[in-house]
Amino acid sequence: MRVIKTLIMLISAAAIVAWLCYSFWVAYQPVPPVIQGQIEAQQYNISSKVAGRLEKILVKKGDIVKKGQLVFTIYSPEIEAKLDQARAGKDTADAMVEQTEKGARTQEIGAARDKWQQAKAATDLLEITFKRIENLYRDGVIAEQKRDEAATKLKAARYTENAALQLYQMTREGAREETKKAVAGKARMAAGAVAEVEAYAADTRIVSLFNGEVSQLLLQAGELAPQGFPVVTVIDMKDSWAVFHIREDNLSKYNKGQEFKARIPALGEEIYTFKVSHVAVMGDFATWRATNTSKGFDMRTFEVEARPPAPIDNLRVGMSVIVAE
C-alpha cells in the first residue's frame, strides 16, 4: 500500500514538473505578428464651378444618393445678368450676318441709283455747256479763263458720276466675302459666349455624378459657396479597400494579386478574403528598430492595399482589419 502511495506521489510530481516545463516553453515561444489595417473607401467632393449663395441643399447626412440626383442649388443673379448680356450680343451678331447675306435694302439700292443718275445728268449738262463755251472761245467771244473753268467743272462732274456709279454697283453686289466671313466669325464668338454662360448657369443646379452615401455637409442653405468649394461629400462603400503598412521583412507575403484571410472585429468573427491590389513603390521612414542593434537593422514599411472580391455588408470607413499569421 505504501509503495502505491509513493508511486502516485512520484507520478503527480512528474506531471506537475512536466506541466510547468510546458508552460514555460509556451510562454517563451515567439508570438505570431498581428498585422492591423483599416478600411478606406472612394470619396467624392461635390462642388460647383460657380460661386454664389446656396439656395437649397436637398440631401442630409446618411442619405443614399444616385448618379444624376440633384444635390443642391445655387442662386447667382450675376450669372443670369451675364446670360442676358450674352444673348443680346448673339442677337446683334445674328442680325449683322443676316444683313450681310441679304445685302442692301431695296430703298438703299434705289437711292444709290438715283444718286448716280443725278450725277450723270449733271455731267451731260456740263458736256453741252462746255461745247458751247468751246465754240464761243474759238470765235473769240469769251476769254480762255472761262473755257478752262468749264473744262474743270466737266472733269469734276465726270469723277462724281463715276463715284456714284461705283457706289450703286457696290450696293447692288452687297458685302464683300471678307466682310461676310468676319461677321460670321463674330456670330460664332457670340454663340460661344452664350454657350459658356449657359454652362455656368446649368452648374447652379448640382447633381451627383456618383452613387454613394452622404458623409458630410460642409455648408448650409443661405451660406456663400466659393467656387470649387466641396459642399457635400459622398462616400461609395461599394468601392472600398483595406490599407495595411507591412514591414519589409514580411512584404514578400503580400505581392500584388495574392490573397489572404482577415477578420473585421466590428463585424464579428467572420473571416473575409482580401486580394492585394497595390503595393507602394516607395517605403515609409523607419518605424521599427531591432532590439539587438548588433544583429538587427531599421525596418521600413510599405503601404499595401487589398480589396475584397465582393462588397461586404455593413462595412464602414475606419473599421479595423486584422491579419494574424
Question: Per-residue pLDDT tens for 225-283?
Answer: 888 899 999 999 999 999 999 888 888 889 999 999 999 999 998 999 999 999 998 87
Where is pLDDT greater, at 109 or 118? 118
What is the pLDDT of the chain when averaged over all its residues? 81
Average pLDDT over residues 193-209: 86
Smallest CA-to-CA distance from 49 within 265, 212, 199 is with 199
Instruction: Report pLDDT for 180.
Output: 64
27-56 pLDDT, tens digit each: 565 556 678 999 999 999 999 888 889 999
Instruction: Report pLDDT for 276.
Output: 95
What is the rounded distance in angstroms from the CA atom of residue 56 to the CA atom of residue 169?
A: 62
Confidence tier at 133 by pLDDT (50, 70, 90): confident
Instruction: Report pLDDT for 57.
Output: 93
Instruction: Evaluate whether 279 touches 254 at the Cβ level (below 8 Å).
Output: yes
74-104 pLDDT, tens digit each: 988 888 888 888 888 888 877 777 766 665 5
Instruction: Report pLDDT for 31.
Output: 58
Locus of grid cell 449663395:
53
Domain covering 29-42+236-324: architecture: Beta Barrel (2.40)
Locus of grid cell 456670330:
187
Q: Is the per-residue pLDDT at 20 higher than 70?
A: no
Task: Give the CATH number of domain 43-75+204-233.
Answer: 2.40.50.100
Average pLDDT over residues 159-165: 81
**Proportion of the chain above pLDDT 90, given as a percent:** 30
Helix (H, G, I), strand (E, B) or coil at 124: helix
Instruction: Report pLDDT for 292.
Output: 46
Q: Where are the domains of the chain?
A: 29-42+236-324, 43-75+204-233, 86-199
Query: Is-same-fold flag (29-42+236-324; 43-75+204-233)?
Result: no
Cell of 169: 454697283
Q: Is the per-residue pLDDT at 136 higher than 60?
A: yes
- The residue type found at 64 is I
Instruction: Evaluate whether 302 touches 15 at the Cβ level (below 8 Å).
Output: no
